Structures are given as C-alpha cells and as structure tokens.
Structure 1
Amino acid sequence: MSRKVSLSVAVTVTLIAMAVTFSITMVLSMNMFNNTVTSVKNRERMYNKLSEIDRYVRANEYFEINEDTLNDTIASGYMLGISDKYARYYSAQAYNELVGTQSGRLMGIGVSVVKDTSSGYARIIRVYSNSPAEDLGFEAGGFITSIGETSVKNLADTSAIQSALLGEEGSVVTIQYLTPSREEVTQDVTRANYTVGTVFGQMIGDSCAYICIDDFSTSTGTEFRNTVDSLRSQGATCFVFDLRNNAGSNLTSALIAADYCVPSGLMAQGQYKDGTVEDLRVSDDTEITQPMVCIVNSGTAGGAELFANTLRKMGGATLVGTTTAGKGVVLSDPQSLSDGSAVVITRGLILDNEGQNWNGTGLTPDIEAALSADEASSYYDFTVDTDPQISRAVSAAQALTGQ
C-alpha cells in the first residue's frame, strides 16, 4: 500500500514539475518571441524609412551623390543616434590611419598641434625630439599655415590637421610655417619615424617635481616610472601631475601609472551590461609617499580621470583646477567592418575602489583654480613658471610638505 502511495506521490510531483517547467519555458519563449518581433519591426521601420528617403532623393536631387560619403555619413549618423556619446564611427580612411599610426606604418613630421581659434592656423604646442620638425628648426609657439596645397584654415579641427600631417615613411610634404617671431618659412619635410613621448618632467625650485602627462598610451607607464624615479633622485619632496586636456586614451596604461603611486589594493572595476563586475587592476605595495597634487580641467577625461581619482582615493592626492569631463566608461576595441571602416561603443562603466562612478558628472577638484577669460586665451603662451594653475598646484603641494 505504501509503495502505491509513494508511486502516486512521485508521479504527481513529476507532473507538477513538468507543468512548472513547461510554464516557465512558455513564458521565456513568449518573451523572446516578443523581443524578436519588436526588434524585427524596429529594423523594418528603420530600413523602410531610409529606403523611402533614398528613393525620393535619387529621383529628385539636382547635385551628384557621392556614394562613399553617403554611406559614411549614414553610419556616422547611426552611431550618433544610439544615445552613446562616446560611440564613434571610423571611415575606412580614418581607421586605416589609426591602425597605421599605432603600428608605426604612418608617420608624421614630429609636432603636436591644436587648431588656433583666432587665426585658424595650427599652433605648434610641442616639437618631439629626434623628429624631422626638430631637425628643421620648428619651434613650439609657431604656426603651420598650409600642408601641401591645403590651407590649414580650410581644415575643420585639430583632428583634421593631424590627419593631413600623416603619411607613409619617406614621403615628402611641403609645410608653410610661421616662426614664433612671425617669420614666414616654407619647408619640404620628409616624414619619418620618431618617438612620441607622453610624459615630460622637471623640477620646480629645489623640491617640487612637476610631471606633465599629455596622454595615456602603451608607453606611458614606463615613461612615467622613469620620470618619477629621475625626479626622486633629484630630491623631490612633492609631486604635481598635470593632466589638463589629457584625453586618457588607454585605461590600462593609466592604471599602470597610477599603480606606481598608490599602496596595494583594488584600484578599479568594470561594470557591464549583463551585471557582471570585473577587477580592472589590483595595485602592488609600491607607492609614492610624498604629497601628490593633480591638475585637472574639463579636458581631463577617461584614463586621465581614472588616474586622478585613483590617486585621490588611494593615495590622498589633492585635485586642483576645474571639474573634469565625466567620461567614466570602458570602451570596446574598434570593431572592424567588411569595407575597412570600424566602430567603437561603450561596453561598461568604470567603478573606483569604493564602487563609485563619475560618468556624466566628472571629478570636482579639492581646490578650485579656474583660469580667467584672459588667462584662458593665453593658455598656450604660458610656461611652467608663468602658468597660474601650475603655481596654485605647486603651492598646494608644498603646503602639504610643511613648506
């Protein structure tokens, strides 16, 4: 009798389990189906709209359509429309330049430039050592007025100017140049390989080490360590790290540099769409024990913000300047497409060692030190000795040492 009861119970339990499993499966399947149908409908609506526009334009447009430009613009517009302000589309040419520069195939003339808003020319802000530009006497403070047959005034921005300066190793480009004393010079420059440094350091006075980090690239970690060690050997009792207008291109490199400054512990994590969280880096016990100050501004972004935030949270660093860009995200590697173009999207958020994220808000400095309108217009005329934000940061660092 008990066997029959046990058998009946077992059958009942099995049937219930099957019913529950079936119900759950049906619910999941319906959700998947609904999501798929919604996705298909959305895509159909998008394609239909583009097709409708395309039919009208091709039937009525007076001017000739450049198909490559049209396709690149559609792809760029798609990336602009996905509510990810960090997403980017690279045309085949732009992506080829990016890969070529990273691999060393494409060369420049050896200058770092910005588009000067008042003149429209390319202002030279740095000339790299052992480069063609240095060999020909180009100087920071000068202006490039034309590249080949193209007037720099006709180039939209700094990125377009930098692109125009690139070319294959050994290729020659004619540069028209205004010296800092405004003498007009024309030079035929042969593009060549040279080392682009990202870290530049010097002593201010007898005790304060000033280190400017232009960007975070694959070589920055090693450059940073060597520069810190060199200035330590010169008697540095405090450090000022200048991160203004540092776009922070490489998060890993930023963490490697920060690791040399802070004590052991979790430095940062990545939080992704599926809810997973992974450690981005755990630091060792090597650290800078002298007071540290970071100079930041609205151009301090990405890895540069990560560096500054890590030094403040883990190393007690003071931030001087203005609120940073608020780019606290993990970006994907470029996803290459069939026609040679590529896209980059946001993969996740950066969390600091306390689980906090600054994306969209930026880092607020401990000591506000904004430039006046007149000072801002003279930003690239300042030297290390005359820059008011550097002076404010050095004073803060020295105060922390008791000087």
Structure 2
Amino acid sequence: MENKKQFIKGILAGFLLTVLLGGVAFGGYRMLTQASDEKKAESGELNLTGTEVQGKLAEIQNLIEQYYLDEVDAEQVENYLYKGAVVGLGDAYAAYYTRDEYQSLQDSTNGSYCGIGVQVTQNMSTGIITATKIFEGSPAEEAGMLPGDVLYQVDSQEVTGEDLTQVVSRIKGEEHTTVMISIVREGQSDPMDLEVERRTIEVSTVEHRMLDGSIGYIAVSSFDDVTVNQFLDALNDLEAQGEESLIIDLRNNGGGLVSSVCQMLDRLLPEGLIVYTEDKYGHREEEYSDAENHFDKPLAVLVNGNSASASEIFAGAIKDYGIGTLVGTQTFGKGIVQKVYPLSDGTAVKLTVSKYYTPKGNNIHGIGIAPDVEVELDTDVANEVTIPEEKDNQLQKAIEVLTE
C-alpha cells in the first residue's frame, strides 16, 4: 500500500502543483484551460501541464495499478517521466539529472572523484562510448582496459546511446566497491567482462615536460575548474626552464567548461575576441582576451577527431589569430553550448542554449576544424595506454613544424 501511495505521488507530481496554484477545482481548471490547450496543440507548442497530458497520465496510472504484474519503483517512474520529457527534444546533448547524477556531474569538475580512472567520449551519431585515455596506475589500467575499448555494458546494463554523464555516474561509486564493465575491443568478436575496483582518482587534467630542443609540451585532457591553474603553472614552469617554443596537445580532449578555456586563451592570445555565442533570440555574448599577456613564441596545437567543444574553441581561436599551427586530424565538430539549470529539489536539466562562433565568425557544428598540417596517428600505437614519444608520429610532426 505504501508503494502504491508513493507511485501515485510520483506520477502526479508533474502536474498537481499547477492545479493547486490555479486556485480552482480540477473540473473547473479543465474548463478554464481547455480552449488554451487546444490552441497550443494546433500550434505545436509544448504543453506538458495541459489537461490532455494530465488525463493521459491518469489513464496510464490506472492501467498500471490494475494490471501491472510486478512491484512499482515510484521514484524510478517519476525520474523517467522527467527524463522522457527531455529525451523527446531529440537533442543528444540535453539531459535530466537525478540528485545523484547532478552531484556526480559537479564532482567531475572539482579535482577528484571516486571511480576507475578512464576518460571516455561519445559519438553523438551512433551513441557509442569509447575509452580515449586510461590513467596510468589506475584501477582501469590494472583491469586491462585500453584506449579504443568500446563500453558495451555497465553492471549488465547496455550503455550505447545513453547520456554520457549518466553513464559516468554509474561507473563512479563508493571507494573500494566494484563495477562490472563490459567492453568490446577491436579484433575481438565477443565482449570482455572486467570487474574494476573504484578508488579515489585525483584529476590531473594537465601534464607537461620539456622536449629536446627547448620545446615545451603541455597535454590538456579536459577543461575543468582545476584546469586553468594547472595550465598556467605548467606554462610558467616551462618558461622558467627556457622554453623557446610550445606544443599544446588537445587530442582526445572532449571539452568542458567554456569559462576555463577562455581564461587559458586569455594567457595566449593578443587583445581581442576569443569566442562569441548566439541564442535562439539572436542575443550575443562575447568573451575577450586583454592586452596583459600574449604568447609570442612558435606554437603548435595537436588535435584529432575526439577534440571537441571547448577544445575546438581553443583550436579555432589559435587558428583564426594565426598564432599557432594545428597538427593532426579534423576535430569532432561540436559548435553548440549546453547549460545546466539546477531545479528546486536538487535535480537539474541540461539544455542546448546557444551556438558558438570562432573569432572570425565560423560555426563548426557538424563540420569540425581542419588542421593546418594533416597527420593520421600510426595504427600500431593508437591503442597503447602511453605512446612513446618517438613512436608518436603526430607529436613528431609538430616538433618538425616548430623546428622548421
């Protein structure tokens, strides 16, 4: 009986508040809003709180109560009611987050999390989720995961086509618990099941070192809250070591926070426009670099097909200003911006709210950014956890460009 009460509460939560706030009984509310509902339906306007939707939900609820065989998880039904509303937009980047999923999303940008130490990306055309980086010494590496592995299932639930943030949330969990990851590896016909322990993973989104010939090297794996200071510290350290030219590696960087990439570009670009966005109303927001800093040494930026979103803002600005050479392969092509809106109960909704444009006014959505020097990574090293510097032909080409 308690389950049934919770279920009814869950199903009705989406529209009872509207009725109560109207200050009239449901029958009166139906009469007062019916004409408005009909007009909205004729115009194709979204109307999730109309009487027609309410009535249909009530019918579904009655049928479930009368005929559904198993126990009902009221919270799950309610969550999927909200998820379904967002999925119905047909936007692969939009999502509804439960409280736990929203907390996981926040944790992912805060410098540490409890997970398995793998970086993943999702092809929005196919929904396929692929491991792009396995952190050294991580539980994922110990379990045998490799870059290029396709995530097939997490704890026996298929993940292809699911929202990436929600999949990552399921992979994370309490420290020293385990998660069962099923992967598909190129050249193997059957999925592999890997039981992986969750541990605290310190997020280092920036790695740097000096290469031969006084060339500095900075690899940026994502644009998070912690990335800006890590990047600036790396840049200052390399300059203190006598760096004469620089390689910034954005390969397999799926993006992140626009605010972070703009702060990093402010350190590199001359004074001027970094990026601008336009929403559905044509409202334009612009981000600018100031005249305080300007990187004036030879620069190369490594990109590939997994360099997306904020990585493309970075690469697009470097290319438009002509202060560096892009080396690698065509970038992913994500020229739209999502914003996460917290809801009153601790959940959240992510919606696509604008398009972004490079300083010269290019929107690269569905197109990507072409490198100045195109180089495919050699296939014999593509799936290695760590590619030796001498075998990384894209890196070697960037060194060659700077040396010339």
Give your verdict on TM over 0.5. yes
Displacement of 1:201 in angstroms is 0.9
Q: Distance in 2 between matches of 1:224 and 1:57?
A: 54
Matched to 1:392, the amino acid is K
77-86 or 197-206: bigger deviation:
77-86
Give the corresponding residue for 1:346. 352
Give the corresponding residue for 1:202. 209
Identical residues among aligned pairs (%) = 26
Q: Is contact 2:116-2:172 (8 Å) kept?
A: no
Is residue 322 from structure 1 mapped to residue 360 from structure 2 by the alignment?
A: no
Displacement of 1:343 in angstroms is 0.6
**Relative to 1, partners in 2 of residues 1:175 and 1:356: Cα closer, same or farther, differing over 3 Å?**
closer
243-252 or 347-356: bigger deviation:
347-356
Matched to 2:337, the amino acid is V
Give the corresponding residue for 1:7. none
Larger Rg: 1
Is residue 335 from structure 1 mapped to residue 338 from structure 2 by the alignment?
A: no
- 3-state SS of the aligned residue for 1:231? helix
Displacement of 1:102 in angstroms is 5.3
Give the corresponding residue for 2:391. 386
- 3-state SS of the aligned residue for 1:389? helix
Q: Is contact 2:109-2:226 (8 Å) kept?
A: no
**Relative to 1, partners in 2 of residues 1:315 and 1:288: Cα closer, same or farther, differing over 3 Å?**
farther
Displacement of 1:143 in angstroms is 2.0
Matched to 1:67, the amino acid is A
Displacement of 1:92 in angstroms is 2.1
* Cα displacement string for residues 312-367 of structure 1 (whole angstroms, at most 9, x for unaligned residues): 111432222222222222322332243x3211111211122222211222212222
**Relative to 1, partners in 2 of residues 1:70 and 1:175: Cα closer, same or farther, differing over 3 Å?**
closer
- 3-state SS of the aligned residue for 2:368? coil
Match of 1:238 among 223, 245, 252: 245
- The count of residues paired between Structure 1 and Structure 2 equals 333
**Relative to 1, partners in 2 of residues 1:53 and 1:323: Cα closer, same or farther, differing over 3 Å?**
farther
* Cα displacement string for residues 108-154 of structure 1 (whole angstroms, at most 9, x for unaligned residues): 27844569xxxx99998225xxxxxx7xxx58843279xxxxx9774
Q: Distance in 2 between matches of 1:337 and 1:280?
A: 30
Match of 1:361 among 363, 367, 381: 367
Instruction: Give 1:2-401 correspondences, 5 Å limit.
Output: 38=43, 42-43=47-48, 44=50, 46-47=53-54, 49-100=56-107, 107-108=113-114, 111-112=117-118, 125-127=134-136, 141-143=141-143, 154=156, 160=167, 163-167=170-174, 172-173=176-177, 195-338=202-345, 340-371=346-377, 374-376=380-382, 378-399=383-404
Q: Is contact 2:179-2:196 (8 Å) kept?
A: yes
Q: Distance in 1 between matches of 2:316 and 2:247?
A: 14
**TM-score normalised by length of structure 1:** 0.69
Matched to 1:331, the amino acid is Q
* Cα displacement string for residues 90-119 of structure 1 (whole angstroms, at most 9, x for unaligned residues): 122211333455568x8427844569xxxx
Displacement of 1:373 in angstroms is 5.1
Displacement of 1:162 in angstroms is 6.3
Displacement of 1:264 in angstroms is 1.0
Q: Is contact 1:242-1:296 (8 Å) kept?
A: yes
> 5+ unaligned residues in a row in structure 1: which ranges?
1-32, 128-133, 146-150, 177-185
Q: Is contact 2:250-2:303 (8 Å) kept?
A: yes
* Cα displacement string for residues 196-242 of structure 1 (whole angstroms, at most 9, x for unaligned residues): 22111112212322211011112222221221222223333322211
69-78 or 252-261: bigger deviation:
69-78
